[in-house]
């Protein structure tokens, strides 16, 4: 660990601080299962030693993925949080810290946060940033005095905010809105799909037992749906999943909902990624095949008509997309199917996904530089039961148990041979096609649209001058951004 870096509260970033962060993640009921392959974390001075039960191909680099465990927070602050799993009961009772008032090592320090649509997170320039004029590298980062992240769920309102000067940069994965800016010389448009996500309708497959997680808990027969909450979900049956997949014309979705600038998806890995296959075996649009599978679906589910509940975000774009998908299913199945769409506030979607309180959900996920970063989204070890009487959160939102997937991901994660890792990732794609664990729609395209006065949105380098990945799943660094003449609007 670089010497001389401090957290915003003055606590040093040393080996002990890194170990405390990692052990907090290891003991967390949410992120802990994703780090179950780490047997121990110790420190000595500025050094940290991570012991693995299996040799991980990427080593600590995998911590920088979506578990968030690669981000460092002040141990002093973490010890004030009642949710800290390292605290004992007495310490937890006395913990009064604010979990939203983050204390890290970054270029901006927490100012205030108000959750909800239309509200924002505000951070101010960290004068003691380790890459600043008072830091250890002698640079002058960050360049901005303040940065405000505004929650603006409706894309039209977001776009109008940019045009009206309320926003300096907007992010969107709505391809039809991105298309409008392709020839607009008044704004700068950056399009990014490298290391991108896949858009989908996520399926809750919780059923049967989970011997993988169960063995860790001393209960090899761990029931995934002990109260039968998900038993009425037809998507636990492969025939129903295949029927739904065959009924959706993803090319039409790409054309009508993606302005023709996105591509139909057939798996979790977009073109250019390790594991991408032109043909994954995922069911193609075929009405005759859809109807044949639906006949088996009615038998397997015991339903006629088959009732499907779909949860989506409470925004016009999601609603219109769902309407198109439902119309395709209605055209294919007629009175054999009944689809009930429930829009909810966007911020509530993640809670329902974590708890498994849904049947089908409009979703976007799986962005990452390397497939090994994604294993916990698909592993039985991170698929906890659906049980509201003993609420548990799962990173495997679909809660599917796939032994072949476990084997394939072991090849991705633990084998140092690039050829074996590539072949294993491709097998992951085939297994998603074979078992239809999700209903894929399109590869996600992100648009970063800004005032022309905003500079260097994606040109971020390490202190040594190495260029970092410009955009990963719509995310980018902000400490390098500056505005012409110090004025972002002109």
Q: Are residues 79 and 172 in the same domain?
A: no
Query: How does pLDDT run across 379-394, given as a tens digit for each residue?
Result: 999 999 999 998 899 9
**Is pLDDT of 66 > 50?**
no
Query: How does pLDDT run across 286-320, given as a tens digit for each residue?
Result: 999 999 999 999 999 999 999 999 999 999 999 99
> Which CATH number goes with the domain that contains 7?
3.90.76.10
Residue 337 pLDDT class (50, 70, 90 cuts) = very high
Query: How does pLDDT run across 119-129, given as a tens digit for each residue?
Result: 999 999 999 99
Each as own residue / partner, the long-range contacts of residues 160-164 (CB below 8 Å, 24 or more positions apart, any chain) are 162/187, 162/449, 162/450, 162/451
Q: Are residues 136 and 37 in the same domain?
A: no
Q: Are residues 380 and 429 in the same domain?
A: yes
The CA-CA-CA angle for residues 348, 349, 350, to 5°, reads 95
Domain count for the chain: 3
Q: Token digits for 247?
A: 């009924």
**Is pLDDT of 347 > 90?**
no
List all residues 6 or more positions away from 215 whose beta carbon is below 8 Å from its beta carbon.
none
> Which CATH number goes with the domain that contains 112?
3.40.190.10
Find tokens 């001389």 and name the residue: 4
Does 301 fall in a domain?
no
What mean pLDDT do residues 445-453 have? 96
**What residue numbers bound the domain in which 474 lies?**
106-185+445-490
Query: How does pLDDT run across 93-121, given as a tens digit for each residue?
Result: 999 999 999 999 999 999 999 999 899 99
> Which CATH number goes with the domain that contains 223?
3.10.105.10
Q: Are residues 366 and 245 in the same domain?
A: yes
| Distances, alpha carbon 383 to alpha carbons 211, 287, 379, in Å | 11, 33, 7
Mean pLDDT for all residues in the chain: 95
**Is pLDDT of 62 > 80?**
no
| Distances, alpha carbon 338 to alpha carbons 50, 231, 300, 310, in Å | 51, 17, 16, 11
- Among residues 103, 122, 144, the one where a domain terminates is 103
Does 396 fall in a domain?
yes
């Amino acid at each position: 660990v670089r010497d001389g870096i401090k957290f915003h509260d003055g606590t040093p970033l040393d080996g002990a601080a890194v170990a405390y962060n990692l052990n907090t993640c290891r003991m967390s009921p949410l992120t802990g299962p994703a780090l179950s392959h780490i047997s121990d974390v110790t420190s000595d001075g500025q050094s940290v030693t991570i012991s693995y039960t299996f040799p991980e191909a990427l080593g600590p680099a995998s911590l920088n993925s979506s578990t968030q465990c690669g981000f460092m927070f002040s141990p002093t602050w973490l010890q004030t949080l009642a949710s800290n799993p390292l605290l004992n009961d007495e310490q937890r009772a006395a913990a009064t810290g604010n979990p939203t008032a983050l204390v890290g090592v970054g270029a901006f320090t927490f100012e205030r946060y108000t959750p909800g649509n239309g509200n924002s997170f505000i951070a101010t320039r960290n004068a003691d940033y380790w890459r600043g004029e008072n830091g250890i590298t002698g640079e002058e980062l960050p360049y901005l005095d303040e940065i405000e992240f505004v929650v603006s769920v409706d894309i039209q309102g977001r776009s109008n905010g940019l045009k009206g000067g309320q926003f300096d940069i907007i992010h969107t994965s709505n391809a039809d809105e991105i298309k409008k800016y392709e020839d607009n010389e008044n704004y700068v448009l950056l399009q990014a799909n490298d290391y991108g996500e896949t858009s989908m309708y996520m399926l809750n497959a919780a059923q049967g037992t989970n011997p993988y997680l169960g063995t860790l808990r001393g209960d090899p027969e761990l029931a995934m749906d002990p109260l039968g909450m998900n038993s009425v979900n037809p998507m636990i049956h492969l025939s129903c999943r295949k029927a739904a997949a065959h009924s959706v014309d993803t090319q039409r979705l790409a054309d009508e909902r993606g302005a023709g600038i996105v591509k139909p998806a057939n798996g979790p890995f977009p073109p250019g990624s390790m594991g991408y296959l032109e043909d994954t075996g995922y069911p193609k649009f075929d009405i005759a095949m859809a109807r044949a599978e639906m006949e088996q679906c009615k038998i397997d589910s015991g339903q006629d008509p088959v009732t499907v509940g779909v949860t989506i975000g409470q925004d016009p774009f999601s609603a219109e997309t769902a309407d198109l998908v439902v119309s395709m299913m209605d055209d294919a199945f007629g009175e054999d199917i009944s689809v009930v769409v429930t829009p909810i506030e966007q911020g509530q979607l993640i809670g329902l996904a974590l708890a498994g309180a849904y049947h089908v959900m409009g979703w976007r996920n799986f962005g990452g530089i390397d497939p090994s970063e994604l294993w916990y989204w698909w592993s039985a070890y991170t698929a906890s039961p659906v049980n509201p009487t003993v609420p548990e959160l799962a990173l495997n939102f679909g809660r599917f148990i796939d032994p072949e997937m476990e084997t394939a991901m072991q090849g991705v994660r633990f084998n140092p041979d690039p050829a074996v890792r590539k072949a294993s990732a491709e097998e992951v794609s085939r297994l998603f096609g074979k078992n239809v664990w999700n209903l894929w729609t399109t590869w996600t395209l992100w648009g970063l649209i800004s005032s022309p006065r905003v500079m260097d949105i994606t040109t971020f380098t390490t202190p040594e001058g190495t260029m970092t990945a410009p955009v990963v799943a719509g995310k980018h660094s902000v400490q390098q951004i500056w505005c012409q003449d110090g004025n972002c609007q002109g």
